Amino acid sequence: MRNFTIQGVTIPDDAAYKDVVVIGNGPSGIALSYLLAGNWPYYNGAIHPDEMLTARLSGAPPGRSIVKQDLRFLSQGLEGRSNNPVSLLMDTLNHPCADLGLELPSLLEWHHHPECQVDHIVLGKGPPGGSWQAMDGNILTISLGSWMELPGVDFRAWEAAGNTGMSSGPTSSRDSRASVSSLARYYYDYVHNQGLAKFFRNSCVVTSVLPLDTSHSQNKETIDPETGVQHCEPRALWRVEGFDLSDGIPFCYICRRVVLATGQSDLPNRLGVSGELNNPTWVLHDLRSLEAALDRLVEEEEGDREGVPTEPRCDPVLIVGAGLSAADAVIAARFRSLPILHVFRKKAGALGKQLPENMYPEYHKVHQMMGDGGATYPCYTALAEHRVLEISSDHKVCVVGPDNVASVHRVSVVAILIGSRPDLNFLPPGLGLGRKPSEPIDCRSNPIDVDPYTHGVVRAPPGMYTLGPLAGDNFVRFLQGGAVAISSHVNKELQHQTVL
């Protein structure tokens, strides 16, 4: 194979060239691909309860897409559960006054413009849907089903058409939650039904993302004709390398722009205690593996009982964590009538108004158990303000409480569910992309620092963008904002290059 070099970097002669490479094929990557494929949002002219927003929207020339408008102007003054203004704008138009409990129709309609299609590729480790394809399908989402949908396809209408793959059962209403299995199927179908499959390269791993020219001085300064804002036209190229999981064959893409859309669930957080990684068959860090382990325990219990109902004789399942994933683990173990030992570092707190009891009764029940200590719930013991010190190979776990007194417990399975973090190991080290540059990226406490109106990464060479959880938008309902911001900026740059 004959290779050549750009800026002193070797490029294989079979490298593919794209305008945009998107890393991550979950909802963030799917939403962005939908816009890059030439599907643009338009204001439908209906009145929004926010009179000032209605006035700003109505002032645009008739027939102009939001992608072509001044996003800074449209999103000014909006408030909500995202720190990204364009995300708030799109959520406000998609779900008017949703946080006030109102159920108002969307003010958006989507039109397809084949001539506006941007040459792009979306790379993902598994099938379209990202981490949703790897989650326990029986769990219900935290957000309402209607808040989990992607542009142009109503989730409830899709579900009512019998697309869930379930043989029976009622479909979700507007004010109900959806199952993870239904959403995983919805995201997969969305890619194929919207004609996006040709833009997706699934079942592959990205190993390296490198700029071929990091010199900002070679950028050409231009003035945005609509906003008067001066910006730099990127001249840097990016090299994206990886391999296909099926055959191990490597690939290489050269692009002007690379988008990080990998989400937040790639790598489970660890306790960092002795023995945690030495016993992978029974020390687990995800719900799906835990469910399988619990099923094996149940089978062993039933075999020992020989059909005679008795109290469970297996050692308890140790669950570490106080979040919703840990609560799901408690629910899963209780459903199977297995004994539980629940360890968490602080006292059990209230769930708050964001998770009302009438919609999330299962989580409120678990928090009630955590606060009670387990005294009134058989087979459940809560160890509040405790932490794990050591896990030994003979299924014994040492924990210590607030009085610094250690105790040893024999357990059958350990589930450590203390959150997760994104896997950005394909990036060069030391970039300092977060809002706190010296700290690791964390989707909640230290997301990637982005330009609020383009979602370009602030401390990166030109042409790098991010959206979704990496940009601090941890709910699917806010993803469209990042996709619109990126698409708008890319479109303006491509249009400017055409004029030049």
- Backbone phi and psi for residue 389, each to the nearest 5 degrees, phi listed first: -100, -40
Examine the domain organization and report whether 394 and 428 are in the same domain. no
Q: Which residues of 260-295 are buried (b: 16+ CB within 10 A; e: fewer)?
A: bbbbbbbeeeebebebbeeeeebbbbbbebbbebbe
Sheet-wide strand order for 380-384: 283-284, 413-416, 317-320, 340-344, 380-384
Q: What is the CATH number of the domain that holds 154?
A: 3.50.50.60
Examine the domain organization and report whether 173 and 44 are in the same domain. yes
**Domain tally, the chain:** 2
Alpha helix (H) residue ranges in 391-442: none
Examine the domain organization and report whether 51 and 110 are in the same domain. yes
d(CA 464, CA 445): 21
Q: What is the pLDDT of residues 72-107, one digit of tens each?
A: 999 999 998 899 999 999 999 999 988 777 778 899
Examine the domain organization and report whether 326 and 436 are in the same domain. no
Residue 333 tokens read as 């173990």
Q: One-letter amino acid identity for 150?
A: L
Residue 480 tokens read as 């469209």
Examine the domain organization and report whether 56 and 131 are in the same domain. yes
Spatial contact of 391 and 283, defined as CB atoms under 8 Å apart: yes
Where in the sequence is the domain holding 331, given as residue range(s)? 270-418
Residue with tokens 């020992």: 304
- What is residue 210's predicted lDDT score, i.e. its pLDDT? 94
Q: What is the pLDDT of residues 286-295, one digit of tens each?
A: 998 999 999 9
Residue 320 tokens read as 């570490």
- What is residue 3's predicted lDDT score, i.e. its pLDDT? 58
Task: Decide: helix, strand or coil at residue 89.
Answer: helix
Examine the domain organization and report whether 200 and 80 are in the same domain. yes
Contacts of 15 (CB under 8 A, 6+ apart): 239, 252, 253, 254
Q: What is the DSSP letter of 456?
A: B
- What is residue 484's predicted lDDT score, i.e. its pLDDT? 98
Which stretches of the chain drop beneath a pLDDT of 50? 1, 166-170, 174, 216-220, 232-234, 500
Q: Domain ends where: 397, 418, 439?
A: 418
Residue 461 tokens read as 């060479």
Examine the domain organization and report whether 69 and 120 are in the same domain. yes
Q: Domain ends where: 385, 418, 451?
A: 418
Q: Domain ends where: 418, 447, 474?
A: 418
Examine the domain organization and report whether 461 and 447 are in the same domain. yes
What is the distance, to the nearest Å, from the Cα of residue 348 to the centroid of all Cα atoms in its chain?
Answer: 26
Contacts of 228 (CB under 8 A, 6+ apart): none
> What is the pTM assigned to this prediction?
0.86
Examine the domain organization and report whether 87 and 160 are in the same domain. yes
Examine the domain organization and report whether 93 and 126 are in the same domain. yes
Examine the domain organization and report whether 23 and 35 are in the same domain. yes
Q: Which residues of 463-484 are buried (b: 16+ CB within 10 A; e: fewer)?
A: bbbbbbbbbbbbbbbbbbbbbb
- What is residue 111's predicted lDDT score, i.e. its pLDDT? 97
Examine the domain organization and report whether 219 and 351 are in the same domain. no
